[in-house]
């Protein structure tokens, strides 16, 4: 499969690698089920044991499926409905659709990422509460939808911990500077603080297996577990507990402790005065990262499931330039790219 791509749009959208999203989703779902099982009691009200078994009775398989859905959200699908329908699943294996979403989506960055998670989390809670009083296949279908929506939102909860996705205004940033900022901070890591005052170093995509990322990885998994547990427990107990939602929100990165460094000062954010002690919000609304012109190449690879249920690699290489207009901060990107799949066949072009 070969596709030529000429695009003019904003830069990199992806945070953690697909395997990382899948692993965090799988581990956190299994951990949430373990907590539900640990809190079970012979004196639980009627129906709770049955509902708990429905969402955690085959925990290994259910956790694996949850991880897969979390990995696909955002990078391969724009909304949970795309994972429900045959047409949506077809687009998951489309080279053009994959590259289009991978090139630009501000919702993966602060300040949008935690807000997107919160919106989908509320939808999932509403469906879980509805499922708790439903019966038969209606209950099965409704809680399945709630879990799917939870997995979709989990992707953006993960992204809210990515160090290259915070501390600048992605929407108003020039494309070349945004890509540079994103890659640099994902590797370097950032010291962040939540609303409760807890402080840790978080990293970005491709970095979670590093020893230095262990604390940030554990922190993200714990927060993701709490969010999943909130939805599952709402279904099992048949009630919403707002305190659980607030706990997740308060654990998200809120302040940058290492907000200003020489790299950012001298290259990307020249208008900000350097200070090693600076503490600033991760939601940098009025802090664009800018360069006039940057040439770059970008290589990506992912796994897709073919029509014959085989798992095959799908790779793409993009080369081009990121630039911004001198006066107005209108980020643009022009790319030419090639995508290659092992099985061959198909192909197409995108112009935007």
Confidence at residue 82, expressed as pLDDT on a 0 to 100 scale:
74
Please write the tens of the pLDDT for every residue from 206-229: 898 899 999 999 999 999 999 999
Candidate from 65-69, 79-83, 183-187 with smallest mean pLDDT: 79-83
Which sequence spans correspond to the domains of the chain?
Answer: 2-351
Of 15 and 220, the structure prediction assigns the larger pLDDT to 220
Confidence at residue 243, expressed as pLDDT on a 0 to 100 scale:
97
* Residue found under tokens 């990422």: 113
| Helical ranges in the chain per DSSP H | 18-38, 48-56, 59-72, 81-84, 86-92, 95-103, 112-133, 136-159, 175-188, 214-237, 242-251, 262-263
Q: What is the mean pLDDT of residues 79-91?
A: 66
Of 350 and 53, the structure prediction assigns the larger pLDDT to 53
Quick one: CA torsion of 321, 326, 330, 332, rounded to 10 degrees?
A: -10
Confidence grade of residue 6 (pLDDT, cut at 50, 70, 90): very low
Average confidence score pLDDT of the chain: 76
Candidate from 75-84, 303-312, 323-332 with smallest mean pLDDT: 323-332
Please write the tens of the pLDDT for every residue from 264-313: 444 444 444 444 455 666 665 445 555 555 555 555 565 555 555 565 66
Q: What is the mean pLDDT of residues 162-172?
A: 78
Spatial CA neighbour of 236 closest among 31, 57, 26: 57
């Amino acid at each position: 499969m070969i596709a030529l791509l000429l695009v003019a749009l904003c830069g990199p959208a992806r945070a953690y690698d697909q395997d990382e999203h899948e692993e965090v989703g799988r581990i956190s779902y299994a951990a949430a089920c373990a907590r539900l099982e640990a809190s079970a009691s012979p004196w639980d009200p009627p129906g709770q044991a049955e509902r708990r078994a429905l969402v955690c009775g085959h925990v290994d398989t259910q956790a694996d499926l949850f991880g897969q859905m979390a990995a696909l959200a955002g990078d391969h699908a724009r909304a949970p409905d795309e994972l429900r329908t045959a047409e949506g699943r077809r687009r998951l294996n489309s080279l053009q659709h994959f590259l289009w979403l991978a090139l630009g989506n501000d919702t993966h960055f602060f300040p949008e990422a935690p807000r997107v998670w919160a919106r989908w989390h509320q939808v999932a809670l509403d469906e879980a509460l509805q499922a708790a009083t439903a019966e038969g296949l209606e209950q099965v279908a409704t809680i399945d939808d709630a879990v799917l929506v939870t997995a979709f939102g989990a992707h953006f909860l993960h992204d809210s911990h990515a160090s290259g996705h915070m501390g600048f205004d992605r929407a108003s940033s020039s494309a070349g500077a945004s890509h540079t900022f994103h890659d640099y901070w994902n590797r370097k890591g950032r010291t962040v603080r939540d609303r409760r005052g807890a402080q840790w170093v978080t990293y970005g995509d491709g970095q979670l297996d590093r020893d230095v990322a262990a604390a940030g990885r554990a922190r993200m998994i714990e927060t993701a577990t709490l969010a999943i547990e909130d939805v599952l427990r709402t279904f099992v107990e048949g009630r919403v507990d707002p305190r659980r939602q607030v706990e997740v929100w308060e654990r998200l990165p809120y302040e940058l402790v290492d907000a200003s460094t020489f790299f950012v000062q001298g290259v990307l954010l020249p208008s900000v005065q350097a200070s090693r002690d600076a503490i600033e919000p991760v939601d940098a609304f009025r802090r664009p990262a800018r360069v006039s012109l940057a040439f770059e190449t970008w290589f990506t690879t992912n796994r897709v499931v073919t029509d014959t249920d085989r798992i095959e690699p799908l790779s793409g290489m993009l080369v081009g330039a990121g630039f911004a207009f001198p006066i107005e901060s209108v980020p643009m990107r022009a790319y030419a790219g090639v995508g290659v799949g092992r099985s061959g066949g198909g192909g197409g072009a995108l112009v935007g």
